[in-house]
Structure 1
Amino acid sequence: MPFFNKSAVKVIASGLCTLALAGTAQAQQAKSLDELLSQLEQGKIAQSKQNQQREAEFLAKRAEQDAMLKQVNNERIEQVTLSTTLERNYQENEVKLANQAEALNKRMGELKELFGVLQQVAGDTKSKFQNSVISAQIPGREAFLDDLAQSMGSTSKLASIEDIEKLWFELQREMTESAKVAKFQRQVVKADGESVNTEVIRVGNFNLISNGSYLEYINATGSVAELQRQPSSRYLATASALESANNEQVAFALDPTGGSILSLLVQAPNNQERIEQGGTVGYIILAIGAIGLLIALERFVSLFLIGRKVNRQLKNDQATNDNPLGRVMLVKEQNPSADVDTLELKLSESILREQPKLSSKLTMIKIISVVAPLIGLLGTVTGMINTFQAITLFGTGDPKLMAGGISQALVTTVLGLVVAIPMVFLFTMLNTRSRNIISILQQQSAGIIAERSEKGA
């Protein structure tokens, strides 16, 4: 059974249908069989001429396609030849490059190690310049070092004599400037965020100060800013002294680490912040201490005045009623005929009457000296409980959490001791003054009784 292509069958069927339709149209126009036969014959002749024309066009195009194919094949042969030539040249260049690199390594010798050290020095110097406060006065130095380190990282470029000299110059300038105290104008960001153009003093490569405050150099933004928290007043006093100095030597608190110690120093809480860490318990302790201090001050003034009057009465034989000794001596004058025993009882009564005035409020000072550390201990225990509760919730992963809580807890104990220790000294001193006055009264009372006893004998 012969094989027919489906596309060919479709074309033949379409042609037959076309001929049939054409024949039908002509048959409809023909009036006789002879006329129809003539028409069919003429149609075959016309179709034969059309087919011959198509064959001629196909043959002409076939020759054109063969010429194009030949041209493409020639171009392909040329490209293959060029590819082979380029590949051979590439391999030859690889060999030449390897030979040249080997020759370069042999010629460089120890210079290669020198350039390696130079690259390392450039990288280290760049890091140092980024953190140096001298860059606040001389900006842009690290850009050259960065370019030098990156360019030397490639084997295609080596450092020139000019590059080496410039690196030496930057190192020498850093050393020279680190020994100077320089003044220059610079934009400074204040603690409140305001940017002002002011005079800045650079102390070597250690610190920057302006208007009595310490500054910091921020390499990321290339700006100079005032520290949000300043160190204690004794350090700020040295900064003010340096600013007001006129070519004379002054003491100055500098940071040899270039800012690390200063940043830790300003984080330490001041006295006010430590008191605030004590919380409510701390304020209660301070309030009790203030009350005790006022009582002690009042007692000190009172006993001082009473002591002066008693001493003045000791030098005067005439008894007065404005001091305890005078009032005791008046008992003798008020009882001139009393016997010795009665007079002794009267004098003892008078001395007992004076004792509460002399020792008044001293017991309160003693109580404060005892209660203050107990309240501080209460605050410490409460703070430790809060610390352990925080550890239970957040764990022990952050030592600062525990250290901060314990530090706050111990502040109340410190405050309690700060109040209690002076109160003990004040109580001892005031109690001693009071006892001395009472001892004088007892001595004088004994003298009066002895004098009356001698008269009676």
Structure 2
Amino acid sequence: MKKSLIIILLLLCQCLMAQEDNTTTAETPTEPPLPAVDPAKAQQDLQLAYKKEYAFLTSQVNNIKKRMAEFKTQSATEKRQVESEISALENQLLNAEATASQLEEEIFAIQRNSESAQDNQGLIESTIIQAKSTMSEHGFEGFAEENNLGDLEKIKTLVNLANQTIQQQASITQQSGQFFLTDGTAVQGQILQVGHIASYGNSKQGSGVLAPAGEGQFKVWQDSDPEAAAAIFQGKNNGLLPIFLYESSIKAIEEQEQKTIVSVINSGGLIAWIIAGLGLFALLLILLRIFFLNRASASTEKLLSGVVHKIEQKDVDAAIKLAQKESNSSARVLLSALRNIDRDRDHIEDIVSESILHESGQLNRFGSLIIVIATVAPLLGLLGTVTGMISTFDIITEFGTGDPKLLSSGISIALVTTEVGLAVAIPALLFGNILSGWAERIKDDMEKAALRAINVYKKVFA
């Protein structure tokens, strides 16, 4: 490296000297030439100049190296400081993120506890409201007025009243009171209460098992046994004890009416009656169709045997007279074949086919109408369902859903019409197809009978 620096310095010196020589020559072209220089001295001066320049450059290089070393040391120190600061900031960031996550979990837990507390508060309030209603039904009206108490005090009061109610319901009491007979007459007598789930009444006018009549009143149940109820008050045990269980005496219990076909159809409204009318009409058509088909197929085998016997005896006129005695479809088809039996076979078969087509109108009578009724009945039931649902929604819009009895009419129309429609459609469709198959079999029997007579004739008179 030192050699390279020396060579570079020598080249620079030569360039500088050449430039000075050119400048001097250009500026003083007219000066006289300098005296001759001693080459040895010049060489010595040049070497001395080179040594000074080399020493200067070496000093500069050392200075630069020293500065570079100091810069590297300072840079390394600053780098370590920056890395330390970055590490500290990263730790602070991680701590901040951990703190934020912990705070979020705490906030979520607080929200969850708050929602749980609100739910518990709502549950407590609904329990207290239900308890007020229940206690009022059992005669504890004072509990409903204690609104100035806290929730804990209300719950304690509720527990005490519940214990009292349980004790009362576990006891059997007898007291004087008023109840109603089955005809609605109010009488005074003795009422035996089995807790708050069953009661018996006894009076001079009548006795029996009691059922709630509403507002804490009781009435004699129609299916009760008066003698068994009276025996209870006399301390007798007849073995079986009739009982009517109820939840509360505040709400009246009505006896269910026995359902009949007319009552069911009435609950379905006008559309149900229309479907029922179609059902009766379909029943009439089915009975008529059975009568016609039975009449058309009556004594076919017997008639065919007699006709074949006459033909075998070569007495066609007697066979025709025998067929004329019958008035059913089979006899008429067989008669048309006998009247033209002496013609060629193709012509006779055409006549038989024409006669069967003529009788098909009688055999297929009312068949299509029965199938139509079987198809229309469920569609009318669907119409009644839609009508009932519309009526129900109208009632809900006007009165709400508080009273189920208001909704029962629309629901009855919706369900009963579908029930009646299916009750009409299923048997109508079933019998319609059965009778159609019967009619087809009768047509086949008529054709077979005519062909049998023709074949016997051709064989006998061949």
Q: Shorter-chain TM-score: which interval?
A: 0.3 to 0.5
Q: TM-score, normalised by structure 2?
A: 0.47
Structure with greater Cα Rg = 2
